Amino acid sequence: MTLTVVPTPTSIVAPQLEITGGRRLSGEVRVSGAKNSALVLMAACLLSRDTLRLTNVPPLTDIAGMGEILTALGVRVRRGQDWVELDASHLSQSTPPYELVNSLRASFFCIGPLLARLGMAKVPLPGGCKIGSRPVIEHVKGLKTLGAQVSIEHGVVSAAVPGRSQRLTGGRIHLECPSVGATETLMMAAALADGETVIENAALEPEVVDLAGLLNAMGGRVLGAGTPTIVIDGVERMHGADYAVIPDRIEAGTFLLAAAITRSALRVTPVIPEHLGAVLTKLVDAGCELIPDGEGMTLRASHIQAVDLRTQPFPGFPTDLQAPFMSVLATAQGTSMVVENIFENRLQHVAELQRMGADIRMQGNTALVEGVARLSGAPVQGTDLRASAAMVLAGLAADGITTVQGLEFLDRGYADFEGKLNAVGASIRRLEP
């Protein structure tokens, strides 16, 4: 007989969540603003001397980190519970500090607007979750097309616009792959460029559309966001704006999956169905009932059957929900195949799910998931942001107690995750060292 020893609060060395599994969820969960959108919109403040006010901003550690980076550049940052005001009228630096950039990949978004506004930028290569290679070559090629001289030395990307005007020039950019980061970086750089810029094979993600909405609210001229071809007619000056961040589609999807894995009925709001089309289709295929009501959506699940997933750029199945959905499939009837096509290291959660009794076999970037009747509580580690959420979901459905470490990842992407789940019937305690 094997005994599982769960650490007590006096023995833990890092914050962790203690989850008592087996509880049904009910009621309503509210979704925060989209982290992946808010971070880019914050960087867009660098394009204007006027104040930018963003609302529906989630209270996350990544948002605080971006605020620190902007402050180091000379931006005046004020934050409330769900809003942030950014005044870049006294922008004084073109080089964010390495120690801040290294922990937040989104900090690299500063290079586009810095180059557009100041004619120069030096940004260290970004850090963040270690889920695989995320090269910046598309960003660099695009900036060169717009007239910048770019070099990479000792882990720092240096860019400058030659000539007296120090103004970028519009051009035609074809992305080899529809990178969200490159699309957004080049949109911001082109917003103040001289002339028209065309981005071909652009990313289609809702966050790209949200950025275009903000740039246009600031006086920019952006057409075609959400399609493969985006046209930006550069302007000489951009003004401030008051703009609301879109709801976080990944958080919404995570809560819908929490309802599915616990075989519950749960309303999640706000949800924009068009932002989650591939996920909602797979949930229905798995046997869930989805009831949209205008602003939100209720999921009802009594049984889950196996489905196959292949991660793809939007509008395909999002890589950010691959790990949470795999937790659900670990409890499904039948065998599911999950193929990760975006990040080569984004299957590290498989070993942790196996610790909880999941029957998963790996073949390269493919996981074959044979559903089991019950998962068992165990001490597990969240290896990245979405893997941490996947472990929490698995704990909700497991027999006994699950402890999840790696909260430094979880807190980067989910605002009060355990508080929202506890409010609808979960039993989760945060244990501090």
Tell me what pLDDT residue 136 has. 83
Could you say which of 192, 223, 244 is where a domain stops?
Answer: 244
Q: Is residue 234 part of a domain?
A: yes
C-alpha triplet 12, 4, 321: angle, nearest 5°: 75
Structural domain boundaries, residue 208: 35-244
For residues 270 and 69, what is the distance between their CA atoms, to the nearest angstrom? Answer: 30
For residue 11, being part of any structural domain is answered with no
255 and 203, same structural domain?
no
Which residues of the chain carry a pLDDT beneath 50? 1-2, 4-10, 128-133
Q: Is 364 exposed, middle or buried (0-12, 13-18, 19+ CB in 10 A)?
A: exposed
The residues carrying an active-site annotation are: 129
Q: Are residues 90 and 204 in the same domain?
A: yes
pLDDT by residue (tens digit) across 13-64? 789 999 999 999 999 999 999 999 999 999 999 999 999 999 999 999 889 9
C-alpha distance from residue 45 to each of 37, 228, 340 (Å): 13, 25, 34
Q: What is the pLDDT of residue 12?
A: 66
Distances (CA, A) of 65 to 58, 97, 217, 380: 13, 12, 25, 27
Say if 173 falls within a structural domain: yes
- 10 part of a folded domain: no
Same domain, 131 and 234: yes
Same structural domain, 370 and 389 = yes
- Domain count for the chain, please give it: 2
Tokens of 24: 């049904």
Domain boundary (244, 261, 285) is at 244
**DSSP-assigned states of every residue in 273-315:** GGGGHHHHHHHHHTT-EEEE-SS-EEEE-S--B---EEB-STT
User: Coil, strand or helix: which one is 28?
Assistant: strand
184 shares a domain with 278: no
Give the per-residue pLDDT at 394: 98
117 and 73 within one domain = yes
Is 121 a member of any domain?
Answer: yes
Kindly state whether residues 217 and 314 are assigned to the same domain. Answer: no
For residue 423, being part of any structural domain is answered with: yes
User: Which of 244, 272, 301 is the last residue before a domain boundary?
Assistant: 244
pTM given for the model: 0.92
Residue 321 domain flag: yes
Task: Using DSSP, state whether 36 is helix, strand or coil.
Answer: helix
pLDDT in tens, 292-342: 999 999 999 999 999 999 999 999 999 999 999 999 999 999 999 999 998
- CATH number assigned to the domain comprising residue 336: 3.65.10.10
Q: Which of 181, 136, 187 is nearest to 36 (CA)?
A: 181
Determine whether 198 is exposed, middle or buried from the number of CB atoms within 10 Å of its CB (0-12, 13-18, 19+).
middle
pLDDT (0 to 100) of residue 96: 85
